[in-house]
Structure 1
Amino acid sequence: MNLSLQNFSTLVSNSAAAAQGACSALLDFTTGSVARALMEANATVALWIQYQIVQVLSITRLSTSFGSDVDTWIAQYGVSRLGATAATTVETFICLSPESSSAVVPVGAVVKTSDGSISFTVTQDSTNEYWSDTASGYVRPQGVASVTCPVQCNINGSAGNVSAGVINLLGTQISGIDTCTNLSDVSNGSDEETDAAVKNRMVLWFSSLSSATLTAVEAAISGVASNLTYQIVENQTPDGLYRGGYFFATIDDGSGDVPDTTLSSVERAIEATRACGVETSTLRASVIQATVIVPVTLAAGVQLTSVQTAVSNAITTYVNALPVGDVCQYTTVSSIALQAAGSLVASMGVVTVNGVVADIGGTTGSVVRIASVTVTNSGA
């Protein structure tokens, strides 16, 4: 609906014209006159009423709502905004003199980033080879230098997405453990669902109400968590064989290793949506590791670490955001590296991904995730 809005001057002018047209005598609308003061007062009230009308019109439609108005709009359908999710990763706990004693890394132990600003807590994983129900933690046997166990960020959101090697402080002193580190980048923490994401999900949700369609399954999966990507394959098994009346969904949460709880949540969401007689499976996406090497010639006075940080962060952000089934494009990786390096380098050599100059990924049920990004100084 298009509203014919008027500004203050137009409102005053139109009011004066209407009043003069209805009066046989000449009215005084000069500045300071009583008639003009009344017209200006009325115009002020009219502007306020116009504003209220515009506000009401904007929040009656989801596409023009924002912030809390989006939340109240979707709440009438029993839908709520997806919250932020905490980043998870695996932490390696190291003993410098492993022959002298054993150690237990307890559930609840805290590790921190190098600046101490972000902390992670050790969580339970009974499938871990070092887990002990008796000790309620992960046991490092005598003679074993390190144990690896899962940790979860203590704050929700993308703030927990840190680079490899950054989580290297012990927040809890553990006898028999001297230091710790994360060997891979953390990338599966996500912020609260944005207004745009909510609106896109609601479109899927409304489209899914009529029947158990592909759109309905997509809406069910996207409603589980805000950090999920997925690929749905119909009438085909994960082995590539034809199977009518069957589909499978492969998912990833940005980490390359979806937790069992998330996998179960997606299975339940699909089960509530699928048509009767249709068989389904929910699988973790198979991970294709990407090792990127960027040769550069540094600009005068620039340290290699500065280029490494800028390029690594930019490439990691791109690759770890790729959805399941997408291709990691070599040209995009190369372009991102060049833009991130900018004036820090005098020139850039041939970027390689897994040792070649080619795209990777794009196969059914696979997802590309960063293994490492290395910047080398070819001008040294």
Structure 2
Amino acid sequence: MKLDLQDFRTIVANSATAAQEASPQILDLRTGSVFRAILEANASVALWMQWLLVRLLRNARAATSGGADLDSWMADFSFARLPATSARATVTFSRIDAGAIALVPVGTRVRTADGARAFVVIADPTSSAWDIATQSFCLDPGDTAVDVPVEAEGPGTAWNVQARAITLISSVLAGVDAVSNALPASGGRDSEGDDDFRRRFVTFINSRSRATTMAIESAIDSIQQGLSHSILENVDTAGRASPGNFLIIVDDGSGGPSEALLTAVRAAVDGVRPIGSRFAVRAPVVIEVAVRVTIAFIQDADRSSVVAAVTTRVATYVNGLAVGASLPASRVAQLAYDASPFVTNVTSVTLNGGAADLHPDLFSVIRAASVAVIA
């Protein structure tokens, strides 16, 4: 409905017209007169009440409300906005003297070069360097470096720092000299925006009381931001035919979602699955890709800045691919051009040493093992 709103001048003019029509005498409506002052005072109150009504109508609908008002509207349906998530990265701790054992314990803090963003070492039992007894990553005699996962201390996109941005060790760490991240941090997201919140609510409403693919997808999407998934019907966890069974492959952008996340997905799907059906939830098979891009750039441009921009753009894209999504070599070339206006040519792109595109199956996800930009 279109509202017939009036500004201050219109309200005063309409009030003066109505008053004059009802009076047998000519009213003094000159600037500074008492009667005009009364009309203008009433117009100010009317303008304020008009604003209150507009705001009330705006907040009464999910389509026009926003922020905390939209949260309150959605809360009537027990539907919550997805919170912000923390970025993760892999950093390399290195040393010059490799003569003795050195430990990098969980909780070790590292920072970006400007000190603004802090990251904390987290456990990774799958790492060959992990020592469960000390809850640390171990540098044995002869080892000069070890790769360690870290998580940002705060949530949000601001922690998706570029490659080689993490260079400071802010915890006391004996026997370790330096730290760096070869690839940019990823996975940090701000809290769900109003538009995404509304779109997810529409899917939520449309999937109620329906044991459909949409209902299952809505249940998964309501767990946290940044999840990608693939739903395979009538197959078991090995991909063999299994009528009445469906398989869900879930990834949070890391390639190795935690068991806690997989458990949360199982619980959410169990609430909407068809009766009499069986299902399984598993992490994807990670296909690591070594990306090599050769570029040319404007002679006056700063080489390190151009290389860093292309590296970050390519790594962010590859590490953000959904489960089952392909990686075309031509797309990598386009990313290089988009990363910096100083890039004039992309002479070659190789994926794992070849020029062919990568096409994973629906059980797999592509992640960057390395991104080398030659300029």
Residues 1:88 and 1:317: Cα distance change in structure 2 (over 3 Å): closer
Residue type at the aligned position of 1:168: T
| Partner Cα separation in structure 1 for residue 201 and residue 211 of structure 2 | 16
**Matches for 1:165-204 after TM superposition, within 5 Å:** 165-204=164-203
- The TM-score, its normalising length taken from structure 2, stands at 0.88
The residue that corresponds to 1:118 in the other structure is 117
Paired residues of 1:314 and 1:336 also in contact (CA < 8 A): yes
The residue that corresponds to 1:157 in the other structure is 156
| Partner Cα separation in structure 2 for residue 280 and residue 261 of structure 1 | 17
| Partner Cα separation in structure 1 for residue 350 and residue 250 of structure 2 | 24
**Matches for 1:205-220 after TM superposition, within 5 Å:** 205-220=204-219
| Partner Cα separation in structure 2 for residue 117 and residue 50 of structure 1 | 46
Paired residues of 1:288 and 1:361 also in contact (CA < 8 A): no
Instruction: Give SS of 1:234's match.
Output: strand
**Matches for 1:140-155 after TM superposition, within 5 Å:** 140-155=139-154
Equivalent pairs counted in the alignment come to 374
Residue 219 of structure 1: how far off its partner (Å): 1.7
The residue that corresponds to 2:311 in the other structure is 312
| Partner Cα separation in structure 2 for residue 316 and residue 128 of structure 1 | 22
Residue 52 of structure 1: how far off its partner (Å): 0.5
Paired residues of 1:87 and 1:158 also in contact (CA < 8 A): yes
Residues 1:27 and 1:327: Cα distance change in structure 2 (over 3 Å): farther
Paired residues of 2:332 and 2:349 also in contact (CA < 8 A): no
1:368 matched to 2:366? The reply is yes
Residue 183 of structure 1: how far off its partner (Å): 4.0
Instruction: Give SS of 2:168's match.
Output: strand
Residue type at the aligned position of 1:49: M
| Partner Cα separation in structure 2 for residue 85 and residue 24 of structure 1 | 70
Paired residues of 1:94 and 1:146 also in contact (CA < 8 A): yes
| Partner Cα separation in structure 1 for residue 356 and residue 206 of structure 2 | 38
Cα shift readout 1:26-55 (whole Å, capped 9, x = no counterpart): 333333333332222222211111111110
Residues 1:50 and 1:333: Cα distance change in structure 2 (over 3 Å): farther
Residue type at the aligned position of 1:230: H
Paired residues of 2:163 and 2:311 also in contact (CA < 8 A): no
**Matches for 1:94-113 after TM superposition, within 5 Å:** 94-98=94-98, 100-113=99-112
The residue that corresponds to 1:285 in the other structure is 284
Residue 58 of structure 1: how far off its partner (Å): 0.9
Structure 2 unaligned residues grouped into runs of 5+? none
**Matches for 1:1-380 after TM superposition, within 5 Å:** 1-98=1-98, 100-237=99-236, 239-342=238-341, 344-345=342-343, 347-354=344-351, 359-361=357-359, 363-377=361-375
Instruction: Give SS of 2:347's match.
Output: coil
Instruction: Give SS of 1:53's match.
Output: helix
Residue 359 of structure 1: how far off its partner (Å): 4.5
Residues 1:296 and 1:228: Cα distance change in structure 2 (over 3 Å): same
Over aligned residue pairs, what C-alpha RMSD do you find? 2.6
Cα shift readout 1:230-282 (whole Å, capped 9, x = no counterpart): 22222344555443322222222122222222222212221222222211111
- The TM-score, its normalising length taken from structure 1, stands at 0.87
Paired residues of 2:324 and 2:362 also in contact (CA < 8 A): yes
| Partner Cα separation in structure 2 for residue 192 and residue 288 of structure 1 | 29
Residues 1:95 and 1:193: Cα distance change in structure 2 (over 3 Å): same
Paired residues of 1:186 and 1:255 also in contact (CA < 8 A): no
In terms of mean alpha carbon deviation, does 217-226 or 351-360 score higher?
351-360
| Partner Cα separation in structure 1 for residue 189 and residue 145 of structure 2 | 30
| Partner Cα separation in structure 2 for residue 157 and residue 48 of structure 1 | 38
Residues 1:299 and 1:284: Cα distance change in structure 2 (over 3 Å): same
Residues 1:147 and 1:85: Cα distance change in structure 2 (over 3 Å): same
Cα shift readout 1:266-305 (whole Å, capped 9, x = no counterpart): 1222122222221111122333444444433332322321
Residue 60 of structure 1: how far off its partner (Å): 0.9
Residues 1:54 and 1:365: Cα distance change in structure 2 (over 3 Å): farther
Instruction: Give SS of 1:108's match.
Output: coil
| Partner Cα separation in structure 2 for residue 61 and residue 103 of structure 1 | 59
Paired residues of 1:90 and 1:149 also in contact (CA < 8 A): yes
| Partner Cα separation in structure 2 for residue 353 and residue 195 of structure 1 | 40
| Partner Cα separation in structure 2 for residue 129 and residue 12 of structure 1 | 79
Paired residues of 2:30 and 2:36 also in contact (CA < 8 A): yes
Residue 341 of structure 1: how far off its partner (Å): 2.3
| Partner Cα separation in structure 1 for residue 370 and residue 125 of structure 2 | 29
Structure 1 unaligned residues grouped into runs of 5+? none
Paired residues of 2:184 and 2:316 also in contact (CA < 8 A): no
Paired residues of 1:361 and 1:367 also in contact (CA < 8 A): no
Paired residues of 1:292 and 1:351 also in contact (CA < 8 A): no
Residues 1:223 and 1:50: Cα distance change in structure 2 (over 3 Å): same
Residue 113 of structure 1: how far off its partner (Å): 2.6
Instruction: Give SS of 1:369's match.
Output: strand
Residues 1:105 and 1:339: Cα distance change in structure 2 (over 3 Å): closer
Residue 309 of structure 1: how far off its partner (Å): 1.8
Residue 124 of structure 1: how far off its partner (Å): 2.8
Paired residues of 2:168 and 2:179 also in contact (CA < 8 A): yes
